[in-house]
A and B are shown apart, each in its own frame.
Chain A
């Protein structure tokens, strides 16, 4: 390069681009003028610093197009020539992410046929740009191996293995897989992943590649109990195995209805079945359709415990420097006082146990109140039979650990009538299996006082309920006939047929409960912590598909999402929230930051504002 051109290069870096093209254009104009004037090429190149071919080209252009032709062309790509605007993107997403390819040779979309489609419709994007846009829309090839495969050390056979992710963003469901060469294939639909769509996808997937058999590992939906899909698996079991990957384990979906299979294919089929079920898993991975969640023990709260010991509280638990009790200490003392008052005066008290976090705190306080004696009353769980399985496991374990006698009452009439939240609706179900069942239990065991874990901050009508709440012989609550409660004086006297509900946690707030659980390392049901769980979305609420009794709507398929529960009740009536909070501090942080109040998750409260008050008058706890 000549010194001049290096000077030009300097200009390039220091000046704005328009100025540069302007100065170049000037030099070009000047060179053309010199050429017209008859200057020799060498003089021109020396004067303008332009190269000879540039000068020749400029003159040619002037010759054909006049001065206009040597005006600088717009630099770079024209706006929009490769960049898609929002409208275009929306349009393309609609085609690429919610409809199948119409190219008969490829069952699924891939970058190649997508590029072809775009070219046909006049959008010129390079295949690389297509990939870039797909990634922008959240579509990338699934990983080479899911974490679950590594965690369970389990290798699916037969090969090739197609790993599939299902994403449900923006109201679409998109199935993406990678072929053995790492190439992305996908297909999307409008709406949630239904059985029809999943089967459509599986059919298409089996047409992919030339191999006769394959394994499919799906992450993001739970198809284990979807009969239509299992029927498909059954039909295709000779050449395709399907697995689901959860956070930690890989589960093979077994073929449907063994009896039917047996009938169809006698002894030979039987052997094949075994083969399918077990032998293809190289490790001893259990192939049960569902796995139970590990119950965290006290040591699981290690972090909580260790932080607690570093707190500056003194040996007797008081605030440093003074004897002022903290709010938690005062709440604790009040609850204990209430429990002791009941035990001293009641004939036959019982503690209602709902297995939730408030119950957990109540149990813990009871253990403290009567220490070193065991709590002098039994626990009563009014079981609607629709609680989460994790709750039942937790209930049995905790009652044993704390030395409580556990009574479980189920409304057998309700069971006999087949009452359930699906066909009878939440209101009737709650009424029969909870409210009625509670009355039955209290009558059956002749309990005169029952502890409940309700708090005044839960809901407006609770704010006015007394700590000692009287119920008539018919278990009704009369908001207008409540007894005044002064100081620490509680009037526990009642007529023979009457009963009292006592709420020792009345003055606790949700945050107090969580903070106390944290401070005291109280074990709670793991469902409060976030985890990958199968859920379906109904009326905007995420419902966990906890067992096979939950009827799925036509085509509905549970999706695996990271969710947790803010309250626990009957699983079909309890909404999950999407969350990644896996420790107590995470939960507390999330609670304080998200600010949606607790009972929102409970579907029984949705009816109307006064509904809880009515339920209480009728005897709901």
Chain B
């Protein structure tokens, strides 16, 4: 790009390499839709920085003729549209990363689509960005999507925003037009907490104010896009000014003499001798060495991957955060946070998910959705569950103490992802605001009489028999028979079913997916308490979702849970229709009826399968008793 550097490349390659070895790295995201010329802008940046190879250019020229939208001109956009499917559609639908470099910096551009249905992609691309370049079509001015992009950029914590007012060539390079757009945007920016932004009028197609100012807009005296990108402060520099944090990734124990804690410094600076505090355990020590293969370091800063050793033999494991002792990370198990939902399957409050924060993975449940944010209008609305691309402020509980910082202070220790426990998909991302209460004050009360003692008194082992199946499959009938048989043997049991739960504890719940989840969560909690009291608990509910059955299973010990799948083909169950519910559902009088207009997810690894189309209820009950004996829940007498 710079001719001096190019000369150097020809004449003194050693000097050239030395110069380029000391470049810094800036990551940015471009927000805008195809119509704003986003791909053209990136294509031009790649083209001008001369990272394109001859054969790539040849390919683009050939492609331009085939797919291009610029007539005979080179269509820069074709340089950046990747997957074949997208190319045919003429739009980008994912996050693509592009690379180019100037003499000062190497750049990584996250290129994401701009439509609302791709909010997830933009959040992903923005999560690692130092700068957001928000494209505006000068002819259109600030649009709904501009607001959405600005809100998301601000939400994800990008401090440097460029308002790239593109296609100035199509408005006659008018300064008035430019000024009007800025005025319009300034008011809005305040609403989304963007304190400062840099407007640049440009034409990506013609190249004005991209690299060089050009002659078309003599009234503009500000920076060009490239010189802005080359000089703006990168995030990792800012993070060095924050208090020290390092989430521990891996404990390095090659032999008995060495115990190192490997991780990437999330913020701050650390030196040997510095006092540290490990969260959430609260243990303290001082740093002994900063070990790398190239020799010990005198200090490590945010962004470096290092291995620390301590002066004291304290217990530190993966997931802990090593912090400075003066200003350590907080620790809690209940939080308020913003959650961005990223999956087609809706988020249901009460359903447990895995939460990965820093390097720790815990089980987390969204207890309460406070409000949803409309990404276009920023309005707050009430909502019961989260759909793909929804953003909401929620309360979250975790099953154990987590060390954290507010997201606005630290992306690495305050940002988390949510993982579905069944499919293992990344279904959501979140940003912690603050702890809801000091969880340190609540301790589990250890008791002297425990589950085992209680169960032994009853001459049995406590367990949950979790019957699941379609309505009319025969769950309650079989469970009833089993309980009768057990009672006759003198076992202590309790049967949970619709009659004693739906009419009491859960009478506030309906039959939406969200309510079904909550229904099962409460039943599982009750079952857990009863197991703790030493009972054999039978539960007979449709419990259609795998995830909730998984949750119920997770609440008790592994050998205390028996999933009994009462399998009946839908048509058989519908034929029986003991309570006339199927007919009602078919007539549309009953909404969300499992099997009709709400799904039933059959168990994959049930402990016991009872096919009621081939056996009587009596036979099925006998089969359950036999299994209980086999498992040693009840003795063989």
Interface residues of A (CB under 8 A from B): 307, 311-313, 315-319, 322-334, 336-337, 340-341, 343-344, 367-374, 456-457, 460-461, 463-464, 479, 482-489, 491, 493-495, 506-507, 509, 511-512, 515, 518-519, 585-586, 588-589, 592-593, 595-597, 600, 609-610, 613
Contacts and interface: CB of A to CB of B under 8 A. Distances in A.
Interface stretch (B50-58, B198-206, B626-634): B50-58
Contact of A307 (B18, B101, B106, B299): B18
10 contacts: A324-B24, A324-B237, A326-B22, A327-B106, A369-B262, A372-B252, A372-B291, A493-B424, A589-B9, A593-B9
Interface stretch (B411-419, B464-472, B594-602): B411-419
B258 interface: yes
A489 B249 contact: no
Nearest to A612: B84
Contacts of A327: 23-25, 101, 105-106
A461 B294 contact: no
Interface string B387-429: 0000000000000000000000001100111010000111001
Given A340-B262, A373-B254, A515-B21, A463 B96 contact: yes
B416 A463 contact: no
B436 interface: no
A486 B249 contact: no
B411 A323 contact: no
Given A372-B252, A493-B424, A488 B54 contact: no
A488 B303 CA distance: 11
A489 B429 CA distance: 10
A374 B304 contact: no
A344 B318 contact: yes
Contacts of A588: 13, 17
A456 B99 contact: yes
A483 B426 contact: yes
A610 B424 contact: no
A488 B95 CA distance: 16
B274 to A, nearest CB: 15
A592 B8 CA distance: 12
B572 interface: no
A164 B106 CA distance: 50
Interface of B: 9-10, 13-14, 16-18, 20-25, 50-56, 59, 63, 80-85, 94-99, 101, 105-106, 108, 120-121, 123-124, 127-128, 234, 236-237, 240, 249-250, 252-254, 258, 260, 262-264, 269, 291-294, 297-301, 303-305, 307, 318, 342, 354, 356, 359, 411-412, 415-417, 419, 424-426, 429
A597 B55 contact: yes
Contacts of A518: 17, 21
Nearest to B237: A324
Contact of B356 (A370, A457, A489): A489
Given A333-B264, A369-B305, A371-B307, 5 more contacts: A316-B298, A336-B305, A341-B359, A373-B253, A484-B121
Contacts of A589: 9-10, 13, 16
Given A336-B305, A515-B17, A483 B425 contact: yes
Contacts of B424: 491, 493-495
Nearest to A512: B106
Name the residue in A312, A323, A495 with the highest tally of chain B Cβ atoms < 10 Å from its Cβ: A323
B236 A325 contact: yes
Contact of B301 (A313, A325, A479, A613): A325
A167 B356 CA distance: 65
B307 A491 contact: no
Nearest to A303: B14
Contacts of A336: 264, 305
- 6 tightest Cβ-Cβ pairs between the two chains A and B: A597-B53, A373-B254, A327-B25, A371-B293, A336-B305, A486-B127
Nearest to B430: A486
Contacts of A593: 9-10
B305 A332 contact: yes
A371 B292 contact: yes
Given A316-B299, A333-B264, A336-B305, A374 B356 contact: no
A603 to B, nearest CB: 14
Contacts of A464: 82-83, 94-97
Contacts of B359: 341, 344
A463 B298 CA distance: 37
A596 B305 contact: no
A341 B358 CA distance: 11
Given A326-B21, A326-B22, A333-B264, A487 B9 contact: no
Contact of A610 (B84, B128, B252, B419): B84
Contacts of A596: 53-55
Nearest to A455: B99
B258 A600 contact: no
B415 A486 contact: yes
A333 B303 contact: yes
Nearest to A508: B99
Given A341-B249, A374-B254, A487 B128 contact: yes
Nearest to B11: A589
Given A330-B303, A457-B99, A337 B412 contact: no
Given A488-B264, A491-B356, A519 B303 contact: no
Nearest to B126: A486
Contacts of B262: 340, 369-370
A82 B578 CA distance: 116
A482 B294 CA distance: 36
A511 B293 CA distance: 24
Name the residue in A313, A340, A585 with the highest tally of chain B Cβ atoms < 10 Å from its Cβ: A340
B249 A507 contact: no
Contacts of A330: 25, 236, 303
A344 B22 contact: no
A325 B105 CA distance: 11
A482 B415 contact: no
A323 B240 contact: yes
A206 to B, nearest CB: 46
